[in-house]
Amino acid sequence: MRLTARGAKTRDRIVEAAAGLMRTHGVGGTTLDDVVSASDVSKSQFYRHFPDKTALVRAVIEYVGERKIAGERERLEAVRTLDGLRRWRDAIVHDNALYDGRYGCSLGSLANEVADQDAIARTKLEELFAAWQELFAQVLGRLQRDGIIPQDADLAQLATGFVAAVQGGYLLAQTSRDVTPMATSIDMAITHLQLLARAERDGSGAGDDHSRSGTAR
């Protein structure tokens, strides 16, 4: 039953329209009729491509996720200095400022709404965040290689911190309709790297007590 030619194209059109609607109205706020209407496709045709709405949501996650990660990859791949990182921050904040922070992060919003309701979707989003984190880890790896941040820095943890700072920034921007807190949040992460370098440069004194008093399970 799965033969394709232009069929794939209209499927993409459906997903693209759904992604746009879900971004602005949320997943729950987006009707299949809306999607059908926006994508200029008949409903019967929709059900030829997707068994139900859940499947559509998953497809949207993949679509949005690939785009977001691809965009971030392109931008982060070029970063080799702290100033480069700041330019990346400017870019992502600027993009978000186009809507005054509305709708938040295309991935984060989906994650928040869907993670607890659809296990498969949750897993996809988990992978996407992991991919994003890996992009940061690669940037940090280059910074480390070039001696910009210390050799003993835990890249994975720092990368996690960056993803969290970005996501937290998105949420605050969304809530306040102002991207300033997002810029501030990401800034703090970047400054953190700077301070790490400085701490190493000046005597590596009392040492790195990353004390964590028995937390996570």
Instruction: Enumerate binding residues for DNA (CB under 7 A).
Output: 3-7, 9-11, 30-33, 40-45, 47-49, 51-54
Residue whose token pair is 């400085």: 198
Closest CA to 107 of 128, 92, 123: 128
Interface pattern 127-166 for a copy of itself (x via CB under 8 A): --x---------------------------xx-xx-xxxx
User: Given the complex with a copy of itself, which of 16 and 118 has the nearer CB atom?
Assistant: 118
Q: Cβ(132)–Cβ(167) under 8 Å?
A: no
Is 20 a binding residue for a copy of itself by CB under 8 A? The answer is no
Q: How big is the site for a copy of itself, counted in residues (CB under 8 A)?
A: 73
The binder of a copy of itself chosen from 35, 76, 93, 153 (CB under 8 A) = 93
Which 165-194 positions form the footprint of a copy of itself (CB under 8 A)?
Answer: 165-169, 171-172, 174-185, 187-189, 191-192
Q: Write out the two tokens for 159.
A: 């990368």
How many of the other CB atoms lie within 10 Å of CB of 63? 16
Q: Cβ(135)–Cβ(73) under 8 Å?
A: yes
User: Given the complex with DNA, which of 53 and 73 has the nearer CB atom?
Assistant: 53
CA 167 – CA 104 distance, rounded (Å): 8
Q: Give the one entry of a copy of itself, DNA, none that residue 112 binds, where binding means its C-beta sits below a cut-off of 5 to 8 angstroms depending on kind.
A: a copy of itself
User: Given the complex with a copy of itself, which of 22 and 41 has the nearer CB atom?
Assistant: 22
CA 96 – CA 117 distance, rounded (Å): 27
